[in-house]
Amino acid sequence: MTLTEFVIATVVKILVVLGLFSALAGFGTYLERKVLAFMQRRLGPMHVGPYGVLQVLADGIKLFTKEDIVPQNSVKPIFMIAPVIGAATAFIALAAVPLFPEFEIFGITVHPIISDVNVGVLFVLGVMASGLYAPLLAGMASANKWGLLGAARTVIQLLSYEVVTGLSIMAPLMMVGSLSLIDINNYQSGGFGDWIVWAQPVAFVLFLIAGFAETNRTPFDLLEHEAEIISGYATEYSGMRWGMFFIGEYANMITIAFLASLIFLGGFNDWGFIPGGLAIILKVSFLFFFFLWTRAAWPHIRPDQLMWLCWKILLPLAVINIVITGLVLMI
């Protein structure tokens, strides 16, 4: 492939990923409201369009046309840049995720990954972690007590879950012997029985729990816990700046769903008669639904309970899991 082709291909991939995933993130809000509504025996959005599908568009118009308020005493440049960090890091993290198996279109073989970094897993997790700077900076810059509390909770949340995420994927990585997501995917190419989740069930559960904390979803949505701190870091935000936080949050949910499917659930290998591309869409959709399901089923927890859970329960479990995996691998 020549340099020009490479540049064009990369730019096209970037545009497709950006467009597709911001649309999916918007549509995710509709799905979330619908799923929550059915679980709570309500109807959810019904009025705009058939079955309320166009509610997303109506919300989009509202967000784009709403006045962009920057509070007088806030630190203005940082207040304004914080939501951009949230959305940007979510999409940068997607750059190293192989989304689908290779396919051919118009006679050109397409690798659906923007940049094949050979330490893909670490890159995705690291960039997603730096995405937590968005709520932190937003909360600290907005000169608001609730915002500041939200920012403080961001710090403890990052310091709690970060260790668990790293240690939980360590055991599967030891089995595969590579940090590249494509290698991890190929390791499980033997079919249903080869999925790493059967060998590493504990690591899978730990990774999912840490993923909930990473995307600040219920039960770990301490940063914007309505009942306690109004809207946390986002209290002072309105319009599209507020919208960007949520595009970032939903894109992160999709990224975590992709990571969990790639590392533990067989990735984009063919699953019986289901082709690989469809298989990974099914897995990601199920995990996305799982996020919403948990939100409907579980209450919030307190910050001290989160720290207690992460440091006293999950961390020792993850370390024990690594030691056992190491022993099994050596023998």
Q: Please identify which residue in 112, 126, 239, 277 interacts with other proteins, judged by CB under 8 A.
A: 126
257 binding other proteins? (CB under 8 A): no
310 binding other proteins? (CB under 8 A): no
Q: Which of 324, 90, 310, 323 is nearest to 206 (CA)?
A: 310
Helix (H) or strand (E) holding 103, with range, is strand 103-105
Classify strands 108-110 and 103-105 as parallel, antiparallel or unpaired. antiparallel
Instruction: Point out which residues pair with 110 in neighbouring strands.
Output: 103
Please tell me the distance from the alpha carbon of residue 248 to that of residue 176, in angstroms, as a whole number.
Answer: 30
Token representation of residue 144: 């608001």
The region of 13-21, 106-114, 148-156, 255-263 touching other proteins under the rule CB under 8 A is 148-156
The region of 31-39, 60-68, 147-155, 318-326 touching other proteins under the rule CB under 8 A is 147-155
CA 14 to the chain's CA centroid: 18
Q: Fill in the amino acid letter for 3.
A: L
How many other C-beta atoms are found inside a 10 Å radius of the C-beta of residue 69? 13
234 binding other proteins? (CB under 8 A): no
Q: Please identify which residue in 17, 90, 94, 132 interacts with other proteins, judged by CB under 8 A.
A: 132
Query: In angstroms, what is the minimal distance from the CB of 215 to other proteins?
Result: 16
143 contacts 71 by C-beta, under 8 angstroms: yes
86 to 125: interface string for other proteins, x by CB under 8 A? -------------------------------xxx--xx-x
226 contacts 143 by C-beta, under 8 angstroms: no
Query: In angstroms, what is the minimal distance from the CB of 323 to other proteins?
Result: 16
**Three-class SS of residue 297?**
helix
178 binding other proteins? (CB under 8 A): yes
Size of the site for other proteins (CB under 8 A): 35
Q: Please identify which residue in 133, 289, 290, 293 interacts with other proteins, judged by CB under 8 A.
A: 133
Would you tell me which residues interact with other proteins (CB under 8 A)?
73-75, 77-78, 117-119, 122-123, 125-127, 129-130, 132-133, 136-137, 140-141, 143, 148, 151-152, 155, 158-159, 162, 166, 178-179, 302-304
